[in-house]
Each structure stands twice: as structure tokens, then as C-alpha cells.
Structure 1
């Protein structure tokens, strides 16, 4: 039976939603509003403007950019 728990960046999503009080879709919208900024610029944006930790910001940016490339 396959393991249903999320892998990679998505594994951070429950704790991100709990800690910062917004659903992941809202964080993704913020990232998309600032495209075509580079990955690390988007991470810095989430950290500087929203007080997000580096790992959480990186997870959202990585996941969003990967999904949007498909």
C-alpha cells in the first residue's frame, strides 16, 4: 500500500498553514504575483514581508514554481 503522506516541499504545508494562519493557496498566489522574480528573490520576499522562516519560504517557492512549469 502506498504511503499517502506528502513528500518533498509539500510535507511542510500543514505546519506552514498552522504557523502562519493562511492556506497554501494564498502563499502560492503571493509567489505568483511577483513572477518572474527568481527563486531566491521570492524566498526573500516571503521572509522579509511575511516573517516566514527560510525552510518554509523555500518549500512554498519550490513547490509553486515546479507545479507552474508543468
Structure 2
């Protein structure tokens, strides 16, 4: 079993839409063709040595992310890691 430093949130069980950065996650999966857990894993590793905006720029340049999507993933990971 794979362990993740930051685990993707489960969709709300009451059928409501997620709030905050997680509200972007369904669109991120659809747009960039990978489960959000893939991006959370990449970002959590990258934040060990890079600052928030450096990781945002990396997602934009290397993976074609838009600014909002990149900020959502990086912000979610930073909050989860307590950074």
C-alpha cells in the first residue's frame, strides 16, 4: 500500500460541493488527466526544497496548469503539511 504525505480529500458524503482549494480538484483531474493524488504527491515532494510560487511556476511551465489550479494544489498541500 502506498502512503501519501498529503491525502486527497474524499468528496463530501452529503452531496454538497467541496469548499476551498478542493473545489478545484474535479476540474484539475479532468483537465490534466491525472488523479489529484498524483499532483498532491508531486507538489508535496517539491515543496521540500522550493517556495510556494516556485512550485506554482513549475506546475504552469512543466505541466500546463493554469494559475488558479496550480495555486489550489500548492495551497492545499501547504496547509495539510502545516507549512
* TM-score of the pair, normalised by structure 1: 0.88
- Give 5+ residue unaligned stretches, structure 2: 1-13
Partners of 2:30 and 2:15 lie apart in 1 by: 23
Length, aligned pairs only: 69
Is the helix fraction higher in 1 or 2? 1
1:53 to 57, 66, 69: 66
Q: Note the alpha carbon deviations across 1:18-61, whole angstroms, 9 max, x for none.
A: 01011111001111221231110110010010011010000000
Partner of 2:47: 35
- Give 5+ residue unaligned stretches, structure 1: none
* TM-score of the pair, normalised by structure 2: 0.75
